[in-house]
Amino acid sequence: MSRTAVITGGASGIGRAVARALVARGLHVTIADIRHAEKAAGDLGCAHATLDVTDASAVRDLLGAVRDEHGRLDYVFNNAGIAIGGYADELTLDHWNAAIDVNLRGVVHGVHAAYPIMVRQGFGHIVNTASLAGLTPAPMMAPYTATKHAVVGLSLALRAEAAAKGVRVSVVCPGFVDTPLLDHANPGLPPTEVGDQARRAAVRAQGRLYPVDAMARDILRGVARDQAFIVAPASARFAWRLARLSPVLASRVAGLAVRRAPWRAPW
């Protein structure tokens, strides 16, 4: 019986790269995304579902259907997320709510649906995508940072609880990876100065960011090793270690970046 994997936000970026790698390994993969899931799945030769992760019932139904069809649910990658950038005094509650709904509640919905299934079957691995911004101070993106810190905390708490029941939990914290995330900062929301700069910075940085396929390899290596934290590339691990060693220094460095380049997003 082949192993199964469901990947939210799987139509592009890191999710798509992970899906491609898992399909190559012979897993039954289901790409779930709010748009373009069918095309991505057609390109990769896997199953798909159009899914809004803010809809808890839809998430539950999808994971249950995969479990019923294949008799098991091995991996759930709660990867869907959006970028929210802006100075705190220019952000609206719509910016905050969008970040919370997708980046945090979307993960909660995935965990809430997957965990009971995995507990009943006695195995499974939940992989939640946070960010380097969930481990370090990241100014000019407070809603995004807050939700990613929450995903880190959720993952560590669940990991400690789940181990005794045979279920594994990891949290992925990517640094500067070449994905479309920043191209679509503040989707459907009022524009902000930082969000506009993030899009322009993403265009300028193309070709100099960490390749998404390399990030996927790092993730799957970390999953195979049952790592609590999967942090990549090396620059992200350095920033994480700095923040752990001296939170005060890391905060000062972040503040200095704002003062020296207030027009440029720190991603």
Q: Out of 75, 115, 144, 210, pick the active-site residue.
A: 144
* Cβ-contact 5, 66 below 8 angstroms: no
Euclidean distance between CA atoms 20 and 213, whole angstroms: 9
The model's pLDDT over 41-84, given as tens digits with 9 standing for 90+, comes to 999 999 999 999 999 999 999 999 999 999 999 999 999 999 99
pLDDT at 179: 87
Q: Looking at the chain, which runs of residues are DSSP E strands?
A: 4-8, 28-33, 47-50, 75-78, 124-129, 167-174, 229-232
pLDDT at 9: 97
CATH number, span 4-260: 3.40.50.720
- Reply yes or no on whether 75 is catalytic: no
Question: What mean pLDDT do residues 25-34 have?
Answer: 98
| Closest CA relative to residue 265, chosen from 190, 183, 187, 188 | 183
pLDDT at 185: 73
**Band of pLDDT at residue 201, cut at 50, 70 and 90:** low
The model's pLDDT over 83-142, given as tens digits with 9 standing for 90+, comes to 998 889 889 999 999 999 999 999 999 999 999 999 999 999 999 999 999 999 988 899
**Band of pLDDT at residue 155, cut at 50, 70 and 90:** very high
Euclidean distance between CA atoms 181 and 165, whole angstroms: 35
13-24 helix and 212-224 helix, angle to the nearest 10 degrees: 60
The model's pLDDT over 127-151, given as tens digits with 9 standing for 90+, comes to 999 999 999 998 889 999 999 999 9
Is pLDDT of 208 > 70?
yes
pLDDT at 195: 58
Cβ-based burial of 118 (10 A; exposed 0-12, middle 13-18, buried ≥19): buried
Provide the 3-class DSSP secondary structure of residue 261. coil
106-121 helix and 142-162 helix, angle to the nearest 10 degrees: 10
Phi, psi of 120 (to 5 degrees): -65, -40
Cβ-based burial of 147 (10 A; exposed 0-12, middle 13-18, buried ≥19): buried
A 10 A CB-CB count for 21 gives 17
* Cβ-contact 218, 232 below 8 angstroms: yes
A 10 A CB-CB count for 229 gives 17
The model's pLDDT over 169-199, given as tens digits with 9 standing for 90+, comes to 999 999 999 888 766 777 777 777 665 565 5
Euclidean distance between CA atoms 72 and 118, whole angstroms: 8
